[in-house]
A and B are shown apart, each in its own frame.
Chain A
């Protein structure tokens, strides 16, 4: 049973990782990162059940808190970029290179 949940979590993590690499909108990229963190939570909870201890469940809580803090910081940065450039595309912000 555990295997199925871990497989699902791996799938979600991979979808998130591929999303970060291929999507162009900063908000969507950021949502993909959140998807990866939620896949992590699923893995934590599954392993907690497999091992029969609560450590993994506590970890899931902390990851949620961290993800929430990341949203605050991330949206602040993305919104300030959007107000400057009228675009949230990660391709448009390309002054820094080489």
Chain B
């Protein structure tokens, strides 16, 4: 006999299987598949072939993902609403495939493509990659010498970079806080490891990995607690739900404000904004230069993308609460970045402080929070997208040049040793000078148009005092970029100057691409600016 309770208990409701729009997510899925395949290659391919297979796999995968991104971008439908927005929310509300997302996907994929060429450079180290042969062997040990002798290489760097790339693509596209948190970690964890894998100066490299890891984990704990508080306020993770709760708020104000502040700490750490910038110079200097290039360009795009989406979509209704905080941070970031860069004597460290100053300039555009008017003026979102494009290419080019200015002990990064580089190799020094001029924002380089775009968006958004500070900070920043040019061209070399090593086709291609993009975007910025403009606003 069956117990009556068991009979009367109704069957549990069926669980609906989620609908995933595989087509819209295909760029992400391709890169994730390539990363996993890369792990398989590590397990099964013979050692001698691994480097070639991994390089081909990474570059091929990125090219396929780029094609998929273009395909997704062309198929975006216009979303309903008064402001221009394309795309839709997919994967049960977890990912927003919209104009800005697709633009940033294309951007990080391009940055990853050129960075992978830097990763694949083997000619500079006599047929070995710039990454340590055996990370587990302590520097200077017999084990390390053995690894060098047998020409062992860590080809895991390619799958690691692909995993980081998945995170970089998901972070700005995440449409709920939980996906955003997971993407943040997927982006960060492989980068922590990559930072510690330099072949030369391994103590510095390991130290930078530890600093980046401890501070990064600390900041993501703040981000997670911020998510918890915002969830406590809104009762859900979707950015749309939070937006509604923020717009209709009557109580629980404190939870929301504390949540916004803690989440801001998380994203501002990632973009390297003052006062959360302390890791930037150490990590940029210690990490292998190819990784620094990838990280400097890619992480900035991902983190600013996520910051824009978070603050414009989820906390858009609370902009009066967060904008004062952004004002302070933007001013501090520009001033500290520009002033500290003036005193640097190491090229990589100087570029790191310059990246802090640039984060400040981009923050000016973010703080403007300008959504555009009818007469197609530059919005905050599109100006930031354009700035990230020009900054990323110039940065990768500058770091690519750092990898080829060398002496017997590896890269020569002391600025004083760069004296007379203009005579030794006018082409390389000229390219570096071009990047410096672009960073300084001199007309006819891409940097000028980028600065003009973010400043005009901020001005239209009513943040004109911020624009004035930004222009003053750019003048200070220009002084040290010019100092580098003076050192290279007009200073007598003291003792033995550095020599410019002849790189393989890979690094040469990277530098050429970076130069071409920097000049082209300075002379004819129209097409890319239009593309950023037509990306439109975020979908909700």
Contacts and interface: CB of A to CB of B under 8 A. Distances in A.
Contacts of A90: 210, 214
Given A33-B217, A37-B221, A84-B202, A47 B207 contact: no
Chain A contact residues: helix, strand, loop or mixed: helix
Contacts of B178: 55, 58-59, 62
A55 B211 contact: no
A44 B230 CA distance: 10
Chain B contact residues: helix, strand, loop or mixed: helix
Interface residues of B, number: 41
A15 interface: no
Contacts of B136: 80, 83
A64 B231 CA distance: 17
A55 B210 contact: no
B227 interface: yes
A62 B225 contact: no
B413 to A, nearest CB: 12
Contact of B227 (A17, A20, A59, A80): A59
Contacts of B203: 84-85, 95
Given A20-B218, A95-B203, A77 B213 contact: yes
Contacts of B60: none
Of B185, B202, B221, most A-chain CB atoms within 10 Å: B221
A58 B189 CA distance: 22
B237 A55 contact: yes
A47 B206 contact: no
Band of interface residues on A? 35 or more
A77 B210 contact: yes
B135 A80 contact: yes
Interface of B: 135-136, 138-139, 178, 181-182, 185, 189, 192-193, 196, 202-204, 206-211, 213-214, 217-218, 221-222, 224-225, 227-229, 231-232, 235-237, 281-282, 285-286
11 contacts: A30-B217, A40-B225, A55-B235, A59-B178, A59-B231, A62-B178, A69-B185, A81-B206, A83-B136, A93-B206, A96-B285
* Nearest 9 pairs of A and B residues by beta carbon: A36-B221, A43-B228, A47-B232, A96-B282, A51-B235, A93-B207, A40-B224, A33-B217, A84-B138
Given A40-B225, A74-B213, A96-B286, 16 more contacts: A20-B218, A26-B214, A30-B217, A33-B214, A36-B218, A36-B221, A51-B232, A51-B235, A53-B236, A59-B231, A62-B182, A66-B185, A74-B192, A74-B217, A93-B207, A95-B204
